[in-house]
């Protein structure tokens, strides 16, 4: 698996310039840093330049720690962090980046991984414009251009730096022969018939929260930003290819145009809210429910492509962490999506460090909601640190005194002893999984009560849709796992991962029945279900 890009990567608290001004000033008063109290949730925000992050931390009642403090409950950093940093975190800590997420957040990595899924499931991945990665696919691109010429067709292509951002270095071309063969570029077919608003092209910034990769949990924020071009749109031709204010919707590009409108009225200006946009769709008899459904499906399918890479990288960083336990990582992603004239969404790119700048009131309102609702969903508690330290102490004592609930099986043990040992191991495994399932249920109950303006889009409640996504996940893992460690593959196929609480309780009861039979005790069938003797042993014989 390719390593994460090192450009812009930082480790630990980030020594950035913290003097960035907040253009839109809220009426909320900043809290003065007080002496740390027992039971206070702490946050290290040395790694962010965005004032809105600090304001939300204050609003949550978290206490900001000194820049050098690495023991905080929450660590927020604008840039991706090195994997070593994630490895060093205690279980009670949270950091706002996953390892491996660069696999969909760099333009070239996204294109490469999407191409693999398109080959396996072409009908499910029709939301990505046709893409070529230069220089590796230069020849394929030139062959495609030749085929177009034979058919007397002409298309426009958009050219982007492979690891660019903020609209830098982007250009439009209609003659593919002029492209350099050795530059690291992404070339895509340009979507020439976008959905227009008041004659302007626009894109959507959709905010997504990923709270866990094991199991995968994805939340979509039901608001965001509509970012409009600042020149009336005309389909590309030889005379307007260089008019980037017309063809590009990046705020970082269009804010430099004198025609950029900073209007605080919700239905005017070059930047508007998605809440307003959905009301606009409804007023014009468009299907808003289908709009959100299409956006959700695009997001989930994209993160399915990332999931094998993220899970593998996370496991490498946290090798001793039981599957299904509380994630130390979370991430707020910015999906940039374009709508064509039929309202079909097309994925442009994904930002793992979306800007939380607040140049206008609309920025402040939307981004404050994104951050505040995300932190409430995470459920960071004052007791997390204390419980983690107590657990570490208990585990250290068990290792020191050799305390273990399961005795080691001695060489030459009888069949009876081997069967009892196997049953004891199964019971311990089932009890551990049962505890994990109950924790997950508790987390879901908290999420359901504190979702705010987020909606859980994975796992979905619709069973048919869940089955469809799980099939895509299987394909993604199959593609990723070829040649990977067998132990990783076995863990992913562990039948316990798919069981519910009542299933595990049934298996535990069957273990007790089998154990009593081995001990020669009279047993009675308990519970409403009939059971098969030694079912647990058969279930796990290949794991």
Q: What is the pTM of this model?
A: 0.80
- Residue 530's alpha-carbon distances to 231, 366, 426, 434, 526, in angstroms, are 71, 54, 20, 21, 9
Q: Please tell me the predicted confidence (pLDDT) of residue 12.
A: 46
- Region 93-114: mean pLDDT is 95
Give the lowest-confidence range in 262-276, 331-345, 439-453, 480-494: 480-494
Closest to 384 (Cα-Cα) out of 36, 13, 41:
41
Asked whether the predicted pLDDT for residue 234 surpasses 80, the reply is yes
- Region 398-414: mean pLDDT is 64
Contact 355, 225 (CB under 8 A): no
Q: Which CATH architecture has domain 101-129+191-378?
A: 2-Layer Sandwich (3.30)
Distance between first and last Cα of the chain: 25
Cβ neighbours, 10 Å, residue 303: 25
Provide the β-strand partners of residue 224: 206
Question: pLDDT grade, residue 337 (50/70/90)?
Answer: very high
Closest to 234 (Cα-Cα) out of 194, 288, 273, 180:
194
Question: pLDDT grade, residue 485 (50/70/90)?
Answer: very low
Q: Please tell me the predicted confidence (pLDDT) of residue 250.
A: 85
Q: Which two tokens stand for residue 425?
A: 């191991």
Tell me which of 7 and 438 has the higher pLDDT.
438
Tell me which of 407 and 535 has the higher pLDDT.
407
Domain ranges for the chain, please list them: 39-78, 101-129+191-378
Asked whether the predicted pLDDT for residue 59 surpasses 80, the reply is yes
Contact 326, 215 (CB under 8 A): no
Give the lowest-confidence range in 228-237, 245-254, 355-364, 515-524: 515-524
Question: pLDDT grade, residue 496 (50/70/90)?
Answer: very low
Question: pLDDT grade, residue 166 (50/70/90)?
Answer: low
Question: pLDDT grade, residue 428 (50/70/90)?
Answer: confident
Q: Please tell me the predicted confidence (pLDDT) of residue 448.
A: 81
pLDDT in tens, 293-316: 999 999 999 999 999 999 999 999
Q: Which of 214-228, 399-413, 490-504, 506-520 shows the highest mean pLDDT?
A: 214-228
- Residue 192's alpha-carbon distances to 17, 239, 294, in angstroms, are 41, 15, 20
- Region 66-80: mean pLDDT is 92
- Region 502-509: mean pLDDT is 60
**HEC readout, 67-95:** CCCCCCCEEEECCCECHHHHHHCCCCCEE
As a whole-number percent, the residues of the chain with pLDDT over 70 amount to: 74
Asked whether the predicted pLDDT for residue 402 surpasses 70, the reply is no
Tell me which of 512 and 492 has the higher pLDDT.
512
pLDDT in tens, 2-49: 444 444 444 444 444 434 444 565 555 555 455 555 578 999 999 999
- Region 68-72: mean pLDDT is 89
Question: pLDDT grade, residue 198 (50/70/90)?
Answer: very high
Q: Please tell me the predicted confidence (pLDDT) of residue 446.
A: 75
Q: Please tell me the predicted confidence (pLDDT) of residue 394.
A: 63
Question: Residue 402: which residues within 8 A CB-CB, separation 6 or more?
Answer: none
Contact 419, 413 (CB under 8 A): no
Tell me which of 280 and 514 has the higher pLDDT.
280
- Region 446-458: mean pLDDT is 90
Q: Please tell me the predicted confidence (pLDDT) of residue 537.
A: 40
Contact 430, 495 (CB under 8 A): no
Q: Which helix (H) or strand (E) holds 410?
A: none
pLDDT in tens, 366-380: 999 999 999 999 988
- Region 467-487: mean pLDDT is 81
Give the orientation angle of helix 463-481 with respect to helix 288-317, to 10 degrees: 40
Q: Which two tokens stand for residue 30?
A: 């900043």
Q: Strands (DSSP E) along 78-184, which ranges? A: 94-95, 131-134, 157-161, 171-173
């Amino acid at each position: 698996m390719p390593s994460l890009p090192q450009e812009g990567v930082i480790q630990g608290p980030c020594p950035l310039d913290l003097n960035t001004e907040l253009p839109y000033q809220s009426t909320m008063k900043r809290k003065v840093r007080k002496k740390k109290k027992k039971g206070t949730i702490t946050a290290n925000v040395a790694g962010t330049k965005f004032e809105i992050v600090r304001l939300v931390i204050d609003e949550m009642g978290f206490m900001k720690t000194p820049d050098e403090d690495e023991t905080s409950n929450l660590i927020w950093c604008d840039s991706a962090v090195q994997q070593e940093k994630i490895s060093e975190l205690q279980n009670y800590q949270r950091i706002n980046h996953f390892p491996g997420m660069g696999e969909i957040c760099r333009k070239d990595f996204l294109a490469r991984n999407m191409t693999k899924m398109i080959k396996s499931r072409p009908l499910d991945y029709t939301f990505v414009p046709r893409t070529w990665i230069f220089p590796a696919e230069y020849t394929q691109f030139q062959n495609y251009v030749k085929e177009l010429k034979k058919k007397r067709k002409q298309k426009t292509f958009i050219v982007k730096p492979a690891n660019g951002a903020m609209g830098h270095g982007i250009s439009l071309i209609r003659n593919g022969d002029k492209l350099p063969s050795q530059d690291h570029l992404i070339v895509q077919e340009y979507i020439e018939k976008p959905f227009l608003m008041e004659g302007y092209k626009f894109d959507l910034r959709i905010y997504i929260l990923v709270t866990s990769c094991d199991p995968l949990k994805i939340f979509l924020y039901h608001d965001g930003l509509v970012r409009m071009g600042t020149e009336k749109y005309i389909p590309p031709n030889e005379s307007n290819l260089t008019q980037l204010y017309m063809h590009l919707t990046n705020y970082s590009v269009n804010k430099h145009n004198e025609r950029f409108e900073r209007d605080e009225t919700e239905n005017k200006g070059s930047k508007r809210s998605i809440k307003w946009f959905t009301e606009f769709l409804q007023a014009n008899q468009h299907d808003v429910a289908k709009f959100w459904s299409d956006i959700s499906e695009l997001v989930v399918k994209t993160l399915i492509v990332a999931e094998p890479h993220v899970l593998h990288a996370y496991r490498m960083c946290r090798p001793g962490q039981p599957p299904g336990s509380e994630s130390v990582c979370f991430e707020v992603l910015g999906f940039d999506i374009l709508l064509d004239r039929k309202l079909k969404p097309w994925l442009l790119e994904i930002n793992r460090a979306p800007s939380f700048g607040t140049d206008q009131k609309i920025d402040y309102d939307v981004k404050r909601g994104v951050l505040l609702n995300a932190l409430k969903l995470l459920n960071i508690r004052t007791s997390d640190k204390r419980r983690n330290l107590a657990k570490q102490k208990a585990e250290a004592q068990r290792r020191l005194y050799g305390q273990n609930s399961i005795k080691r099986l001695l060489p030459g043990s009888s069949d009876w002893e081997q069967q009892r040992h196997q049953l004891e191991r199964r019971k311990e495994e089932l009890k551990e999984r049962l505890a994990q399932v109950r924790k997950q249920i508790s987390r879901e109950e908290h999420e359901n009560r504190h979702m705010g303006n987020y909606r859980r889009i994975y796992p979905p409640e619709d069973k048919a849709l869940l089955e469809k996504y799980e099939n895509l996940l299987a394909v993604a893992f199959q593609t990723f796992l070829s040649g990977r460690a067998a132990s990783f593959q076995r863990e992913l196929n562990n039948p316990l991962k798919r069981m519910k609480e009542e299933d595990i309780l049934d298996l535990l009861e069957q273990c007790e029945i089998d154990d009593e039979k081995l001990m020669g005790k009279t047993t009675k069938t308990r519970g409403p279900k009939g059971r098969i003797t030694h079912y647990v042993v058969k279930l796990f014989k290949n794991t």
